Amino acid sequence: MLRLRSSVADHRADDFGEMLRDLEGVTRIVRQDDASAAGAFVFVADVEPVAADALVEAVDEFGIGAHDYVLTRVEVVAPQHHHHFGEGGVDGYSWVEVVGQAKANSRLLARYLALINVAAVIAACGVITSSSILIVGAMAVSPDLLPICATAVGLVRGRRSLARRALFTLIAGLGLVVVTAMVLSALLKWTGFLPDGFQVEESALSTLAKTDYTTVLVALAAGVAGMLAFETRASAAVGVAISVTTIPASAYLGVALGAGGIDHALGALVVLVINVSLLIVSATLTLAAQQRLPNRSRAPI
């Protein structure tokens, strides 16, 4: 459930209230005096996710400024209720909400770089020590799911600038993983901490540089899971599904470049490019298919 709060000048309050009442999926409309602004009223209303896009469009057309209204998500505890499903809604999530998340996660933020750098260090250590546990830990830390899904949202909604910005953020993040793993492994080799005669191709994780039919299947499946998780804000739980196809290959590539084994770096690069491409394709197709689903009637949660 979403909730609208909007401040409207008193001479337009009646028209604004009528506009809200005419919108399907907007209910429990409350009008009260705005204590922070003389001659204004505050409207509060519950909004079904499917109605959010039409509501935002109507509010903008009405001339309400961006600083005069806010649409937030509210967790409903009781009673058990029903959601509308229909055109513009993504299983209880509105396009305006999905696009908003995509915009927020398409930017190259310091927190994103910090998390992906931590993932790079853990994954590089996992490759060097042949530790699957460390690889899984790196996948859990990595935030690369977010720009991948943001890229897909930009492509489906025809927002090229959003898609380009998110793709740049993704490439920059994975590039940082490669560089960090390369520098770390080179330093470990120079200081003598790497095992004598270390060869990256002898690692138990050498399959990270090999491509077969499972590479394609896993990347496609991870893209579907990642997009569905992104829509329902469960990305933290499903991030590992995405990172299994990106972070390990990126770290393997960096270790191969930094500790010797450049011949095997090409294989890891091929795996990484294939995985990233298929992830974006799969996530995009998943979102595009949902956009074209026919309207559905009320259904219990």
Q: Of 32, 21, 26, which is closest to residue 51 (Cα–Cα)? A: 26
For residue 295, what pLDDT is reported? Answer: 47
**Angstrom distance (rounded) from CA 71 to CA 48:** 11
Name 2's bridge partners. Answer: 47, 73
| Topology (CATH level 3) of domain 2-85 | Alpha-Beta Plaits (3.30.70)
Q: What is the pLDDT of residues 250-275, one digit of tens each?
A: 999 999 998 877 777 888 899 899 99
Q: Are 164 and 293 in contact (CB under 8 A)?
A: no
101-291 folds as Glycerol uptake facilitator protein (1.20.1080)
The answer, yes or no, to whether residue 86 has pLDDT greater than 70, is no
The tokens describing 99, both together, are 């696009």
Cα distance between residue 165 and residue 142, in whole Å: 19
**Gap between the Cα atoms of 275 and 84, Å rounded:** 36
pLDDT above 60 (res 53): yes
Tokens of 115: 């998390």
Q: Are 254 and 187 in contact (CB under 8 A)?
A: no
pTM above 0.85, yes or no: no
Contacts with 135 (C-beta within 8 Å, 6 or more apart), sequence order: 123, 126, 127, 205, 247, 248, 251
Q: 104-142, pLDDT tens digit by residue? A: 889 999 999 999 999 999 999 999 988 889 998 898 888
Query: Residue 300 pairs with which residues in a beta bridge?
Result: 82
Residue 88 confidence (pLDDT) above 50: no
pLDDT of residue 226: 86
183: left (phi over 0), alpha (psi -120 to 50) or beta: alpha
| pLDDT at residue 235 in the model | 56
User: Where exactly does CATH 3.30.70.120 map onto the chain?
Assistant: 2-85
Mean pLDDT of the chain: 85
Residue 296 — pLDDT band, cuts 50, 70, 90? very low
- Please list the residue range(s) of the chain that carry CATH number 1.20.1080: 101-291
Looking up tokens 């000048």 gives 9
Would you say 47 and 90 are in contact if contact means Cβ atoms under 8 Å apart? no
Instruction: Provide the pLDDT for residue 173.
Output: 96
User: pLDDT band at 80, cuts 50/70/90?
Assistant: low
Residues β-bridged to residue 184:
none
- What lies within 8 Å, CB to CB, of 127 at 6+ separation is 135, 181, 200, 203, 205, 208, 248, 251, 252, 255
Q: What pLDDT score does 177 carry? A: 96
- Give whole-number Cα distances, 118 to 20, 125, 238, 263, in Å: 47, 11, 18, 26
